[in-house]
Amino acid sequence: MIAGWLLLLVALLYVGLLFVIAYVGDRRPLYPRQPRVRPLVYSLALAVYCSSWTFYGAVGTAARSGLSYLPIYLGPLLLFVFGFGLLQRLVLVARERNITSIADFIAARFGKSHGLAALVAIIAVIAIIPYIALQFKAVAMSFAVLGAGNSAWWFGDTALWCAALLAVFAILFGTRNIDATEHHHGMMLAVAVESLVKLLAFVAIGIYACMHGPGLQETLRAPVLQIEKGSLPPGFVAQTLLAFCAMFCLPRQFQIGVVECEDPRDLRRARWLFPIYMILISAAVLPIVSAGMGVSQVRGGHLDAWVLNLPLALGDSGMALLAFVGGFSAATGMVIVAAVALATMISNDLVMPALLRIRRLDLEERGDLSNTVLLIRRIAIVGLAALAYIYYRIIADAENLAATGLLSFAAVAQFAPAIVSALYWRGASRMGVQVGLLAGFVVWAYTLLLPAMTRAGWLGTPWMEEGPFGIAWLKPTELFHLTGWEPVTHGTFWSLLINVGCLVFISLRFRPSVAERLHAALFVDPFVRSVGGAGDWRGRVTVRDLGTIAGRIVGERVTARAFHEYGERHGVTLTPSDAADRPLIQFTERLLASAVGAASARRILMGALSGTGLDIAEAMALLDEASQELRFNRELLATTLENVSQGISVVDGDMRLVAWNRRYVELFDYPDGMVYVGLPVADLIRWNAELGECGPGEVDEHVAKRIRYMRAGSPHVFSRVRPDGTVIEMRGRALPGGGFVTTFTDVTAYKSVEQALIDANETLEQRVEDRTAELSEALNATAMARRDAEAANASKTRFLAAASHDLLQPLNAARLFTSALRQHPGLDGEAAGLAERIDASFRAAEDLLDALLDVSRLDAGSYRPEVVPFALADLFDSLKQQFAVVAEQRGLTLRVVPSSLSVRSDAQLLRRIVANFLSNGLRYTRSGGVLLGVRHVGQHLRIEVWDSGPGIAEEQQARIFGEFQRLERPSPWGEKGLGLGLSICDRLAGILEHPLGLRSRVGRGSCFSITVPRTASVSRKRAPAMARPGGGEQLPLTVLCLDNDETILDGMQALLGRWGVDCRVAIDLPTALDILSRTHVDLILADYHLSDDMDGLEALRLIGTKVAPMPPAAMVTADGSTELKQRARALGYPLLHKPVRPAALRAMLVALAKRAGSNAA
């Protein structure tokens, strides 16, 4: 037994030593500037993982169940061997984003969510309080075993004064600075020393046990026998997984391993130093257990006190005191670091956000909040120590050290899915992580925490044995009837399964927001260095404003130092009155985040920026710009790299590969998985050299030479002939910030062409002659082809002219006969109806043929517009006369708004377009009517045709101007067409350069329009048309019809005879002259195509030379060419186009009769 005062003195002296070490480390932080010492301190500090559980509890577990102690050591070893990339990513992200805690890390990744940070902080506090209580229990047990334990009075309660002492230490050296990312050099040095002390103490006890134990063979007999049986201890896999996750999920491990890491390169040394530490600790367990097995006092005592009981039983108080110092050291290190980490989370993620939301406190307007934040953290440390002590007094005493530790490990393991998805899965969403954490934590509490409270006597046992409300499948240790697993494995399985399931399902169901996707880029690919945003923005926020905001949170001294370092780093002088640019605002946000967390920093800076006149949207856009620019630049760079034909590789200053493209991998045929971010480029050079890619010579020489070139930044250009014959050109150049970029181009084809040119140089002259001859032949062939095309085009034009005449002749005769038939007085009603339908069919055929011929003329380019000024009244009157009858027959109203305006266009082509609009309107309108009018549009006039038809759907309006496009609704009058009318209008309007327009509403009607140039007023060419005579009025005229087609002549006789006209016919010129010499003729109707040697105009000219006076004459033709129109107009002959419309023919005869009557009068 050891005197209580001695143990207390040793404990106080040890804590005092830690105080001195921490004080010296803070005042004179020498090790951070020592590249050889800093990784050692960092590696030893990581050993804060080895708490009193590993010092006392591992030995107790080994004595209880053999190799069951091994998972808590095996998990960290596996992480540093197989999960080293995860630790690298964590450190790089935390360093870049000024991460202060594990809650800050998760919240910053998922949109800087206050709610998510608060949830993580709450889970961490609940999970770690039992773990801190475990340390108090270990200290109290140490005093009790060594003879000084007496909890009857408060001053004798060793756990109580231990809690108070460690809380004071954590306050003094963990909350001196507001900046939580500012490294606690003193605390780190103290933790490293305590790790070294507990290692030396534990190894010393292990050596002591070997000296007093049964020997090495007997020590290894039980573990070897257990291995030979081939059965792992219960819960071995689950506990290994928990220990694996604990190394980056425990708040104290995150604090030491991530936040306190000064240089990511320190991880490389820690990768083998820390595993060595763990191996030494775990190796000492077996001899201690083996030695105690032979001592009944040890074997019959408290198993968790095995390390203390062994030297006591052997009568060695000095070794027992060393064991006490080691155990006390393990407990103190864990409590100090855990208290600092949890206090940071409580202040940054729970208390400060809540206080900032209370408007009455006006915290955002206060001058200095740094003392407030520090006070909150100190109070939090005291509160944590008090809660842990209460838990120890109430519950922890009912559980052994290992059980309490595993309870905490299972709780913090709920952070693992969130951390892994934050670093590797862009699609993870805040909602998915939040629901997963909450669900996993609830299941942990149900399957592990509540049963622990039940075993402590705080809850009744029936609910555990029978399930809540008697529901057996809800028993916490046999959830969903899953039996056969020990409680920790069972609870770990269900909690992590539900956690991961909720995270994946909800993330896939509710995709990440824009803010989350922007932040994801920095976390998923931290090896790409962040590129600062453009600094050309200048707003209303000044440097003084930002300094004031930061000074209120982190203090004026820290702010001044940070701004000074920022100016030196960027080569600028920060004047208080200068406008702040984007990089400075984003730097200020990161500075605030180092003190109060990313979420609260965003809130504080948002409020400050909006107070300067920036609205919330502008402030949000400004603060997120760095992420947006980074993501855009990364995506742009990745897209560019993947789409260039050259292979590209980029290495950093450490000669590690940081970027490449697919072409690079294809050129050198690297195996899948060989190329990854961070791969030493020397490995790739060695691979290529071993395959003969670098030419002859030693492999190591090739590697050294190329690495030397890249480190020196020597630019180079050279070609390499690969073993397969391909030629690769390599161009290398140093990067400004360190590193090297190399492009690899396959120039095999170029080299082949170059060699071919060299070979062909001798025969160049002959080749030039040959090519010249080939070119001449090609030019001759082109000329012949052009002549053939011109001849074909001329032939097509002649064919169209002939086709126009030959196709329309029979139609013309048929129209004449049907018109005569309709006016036969002996027809009954049925026969008259049949005649009407025949006539309508011929009209339809005529329209179709006209349309096809128009398309052919347009394709042949036969239209030559005659653009002249003319009065719209002439056009409108002509159209009204043409369509009035159709409108009247269908019971529709045709309204033409009179106009005295004039336009400049081709009258015939414009008439064709507007006539088509009117025809379509009358064709598809069932009731109502059609309106023709004109509107002023600046210096132009817009001719509009409105109808009250069915209208045209918006999706069909662009399509109806194409060829063979018709409305889905049929005409109510049974008319059908080819769908060419509007296409012809569109092409004619293109020739005239008159834009078309269309407005339509389904069910209301349509408006087609064409815009033409306005011109000065032009007099009308003819008077308005007189009222047309009735169909039964007789015309006392004598008309001579000259045509070479007897059928046409018979038809004209039949039709004109019905009108009372004396129709004389002549098949050639001599017959016509004979008739004219014997008979007075009022009108000559002459066909244009009479014979091969004479046309109608020539015939009329000859008649004029032989007959005096010359009777009025009109041309009847199927030729619609512009040339014929011009000749007929010049000679004063009206034109009637075949098939002749009876109404147009009668109108001309009526006008002639009127003039004859007036002349006679």
pLDDT in tens, 570-580: 777 777 777 77
pLDDT at position 531, please?
40
What is the pLDDT confidence band of residue 435, given thresholds at 50, 70 and 90? Answer: very high
Distance CA 640, CA 625 (A): 22
pLDDT at position 181, please?
46
What is the pLDDT confidence band of residue 1011, given thresholds at 50, 70 and 90? Answer: very high
Distance CA 362, CA 365 (A): 5
Task: Produce one character per residue of 317-345: b if its CB has 16 or more CB atoms within 10 Å, e if not.
Answer: eebbbbbbbbbbbbbbbbbbbbbbbbbbb
**Superfamily per CATH, domain 1032-1160:** Response regulator (3.40.50.2300)
What is the pLDDT confidence band of residue 597, given thresholds at 50, 70 and 90? Answer: low
Written as six digits, the tokens of 381 are: 């440390």
pLDDT at position 904, please?
92
Span of 263-267, 292-296, 854-858 with lowest mean pLDDT: 854-858
Higher-scoring residue by pLDDT: 1128, 178? 1128
What is the pLDDT confidence band of residue 895, given thresholds at 50, 70 and 90? Answer: very high
357, burial (CB in 10 Å: exposed 0-12, middle 13-18, buried 19+): exposed
Q: What share of the chain is helix, strand, coil (3-state, %, to 5)?
A: 65, 10, 25
pLDDT at position 945, please?
95
Amino acid at position 18, single letter: L
What is the pLDDT confidence band of residue 901, given thresholds at 50, 70 and 90? Answer: very high
Asked if residue 558 lies in contact with residue 178, where contact means CB atoms within 8 angstroms, the answer is yes
What is the pLDDT confidence band of residue 902, given thresholds at 50, 70 and 90? Answer: very high
Residue 743 β-bridge partners: 648, 731
Is the pLDDT confidence value at 616 over 60? no
Asked if residue 137 lies in contact with residue 392, where contact means CB atoms within 8 angstroms, the answer is yes
Written as six digits, the tokens of 944 are: 């509009």
pLDDT at position 619, please?
44
Residue 939 burial (CB count, 10 A): 8
pLDDT at position 369, please?
64
Which positions ≥6 away from 1067 have C-beta within 8 Å?
Answer: 1043, 1044, 1046, 1049
Across the chain, which distance is largest between two alpha carbons, in Å? 165
Written as six digits, the tokens of 646 are: 């050259």
Q: Over pLDDT 90: what percentage of the chain?
A: 9
Residue 647, phi then psi, degrees to nearest 5: -80, 140
- Write the DSSP symbol of residue 473: G
What is the pLDDT confidence band of residue 1023, given thresholds at 50, 70 and 90? Answer: very low
Residue 1015, phi then psi, degrees to nearest 5: -135, 175
pLDDT at position 215, please?
76
Asked if residue 970 lies in contact with residue 958, where contact means CB atoms within 8 angstroms, the answer is no
**Helices and strands, counts by H and E, the chain:** 46, 19
pLDDT 10s digits, 110-156: 877 778 888 998 998 888 888 888 787 878 778 777 764 444 334 45
Higher-scoring residue by pLDDT: 245, 786? 245
pLDDT at position 816, please?
62
Which positions ≥6 away from 276 have C-beta within 8 Å?
Answer: none
| Of 382, 446, 386, nearest in space to 410 by CA | 446
Span of 271-280, 496-505, 624-633, 936-945 with lowest mean pLDDT: 624-633
Amino acid at position 1057, single letter: G
Residue 101 β-bridge partners: none
Higher-scoring residue by pLDDT: 481, 1114? 1114
| Of 300, 304, 275, 242, nearest in space to 53 by CA | 304
**How far is residue 1008 from each of residues 821, 915, 997, 1000, measured CA to CA in Å?**
37, 11, 6, 9
- Write the DSSP symbol of residue 578: S
Is the pLDDT confidence value at 933 over 90? yes
Asked if residue 292 lies in contact with residue 298, where contact means CB atoms within 8 angstroms, the answer is yes
How much is the CA Rg of the chain, to the nearest whole Å? 51
Distance CA 186, CA 30 (A): 10
**How far is residue 214 from each of residues 60, 86, 168, 222, 316, measured CA to CA in Å?**
19, 43, 44, 12, 18
pLDDT at position 497, please?
93
Task: Give 183's Cβ-side CA count (13 Å radius).
Answer: 24
| Of 623, 609, 519, 539, nearest in space to 581 by CA | 539
Task: Tell me the pairing of strands 1083-1087 and 1113-1117.
Answer: parallel
| Of 378, 42, 346, nearest in space to 187 by CA | 42
Distance CA 1053, CA 1063 (A): 6
The rounded Cα 644 to chain-centroid distance in angstroms is 22
pLDDT at position 325, please?
85
pLDDT 10s digits, 337-373: 888 888 888 887 788 777 777 766 666 555 556 677 7
- When mean pLDDT is compared over 298-302, 967-971, 1053-1057, the highest value belongs to 1053-1057
Is the pLDDT confidence value at 1158 over 60? no
pLDDT at position 521, please?
67
Answer whether CATH 3.30.70.270 is correct for domain 4-413: no
Residue 11, phi then psi, degrees to nearest 5: -65, -45
Amino acid at position 109, single letter: R
- What average pLDDT score do residues 221-249 get? 81
Is the pLDDT confidence value at 794 over 70? no
Q: Over pLDDT 70: what percentage of the chain?
A: 77
Residue 144 belongs to what H/E stretch?
A: helix 114-146
| Of 732, 120, 61, 770, nearest in space to 418 by CA | 120
Answer whether CATH 3.30.565.10 is correct for domain 863-1015: yes
Is the pLDDT confidence value at 838 over 70? no
- What average pLDDT score do residues 694-709 get? 81
Residue 636 burial (CB count, 10 A): 10
What is the pLDDT confidence band of residue 464, given thresholds at 50, 70 and 90? Answer: confident
pLDDT at position 834, please?
62
Higher-scoring residue by pLDDT: 154, 1084? 1084
Secondary structure (DSSP) of 693-754: TT-SS-HHHHHHHHHHHHHHT--EEEEEE-TTS-EEEEEEEE-TTS-EEEEEEE-HHHHHHH
**How far is residue 601 from each of residues 178, 353, 607, measured CA to CA in Å?**
13, 10, 10
pLDDT at position 402, please?
62
Written as six digits, the tokens of 25 are: 């480390």
Distance CA 375, CA 372 (A): 5
pLDDT at position 817, please?
65
Q: What is the mean pLDDT of the chain?
A: 78
| Of 1070, 855, 876, 874, nearest in space to 963 by CA | 855
Is the pLDDT confidence value at 179 over 60? no
Task: Tell me the pairing of strands 940-947 and 1005-1015.
Answer: antiparallel
- What average pLDDT score do residues 274-302 get? 84
Distance CA 894, CA 874 (A): 17
pLDDT at position 1027, please?
40
**Superfamily per CATH, domain 644-748:** PAS domain (3.30.450.20)
| Of 893, 896, 887, nearest in space to 929 by CA | 893
Distance CA 595, CA 319 (A): 44
Residues composing the chain: 1161
Distance CA 335, CA 162 (A): 10
pLDDT at position 478, please?
79
pLDDT at position 473, please?
77
What is the pLDDT confidence band of residue 820, given thresholds at 50, 70 and 90? Answer: low
Asked if residue 438 lies in contact with residue 120, where contact means CB atoms within 8 angstroms, the answer is no
pTM of the model: 0.50
pLDDT at position 1119, please?
74
pLDDT at position 372, please?
76
Residue 730 β-bridge partners: 718, 744
pLDDT at position 672, please?
75
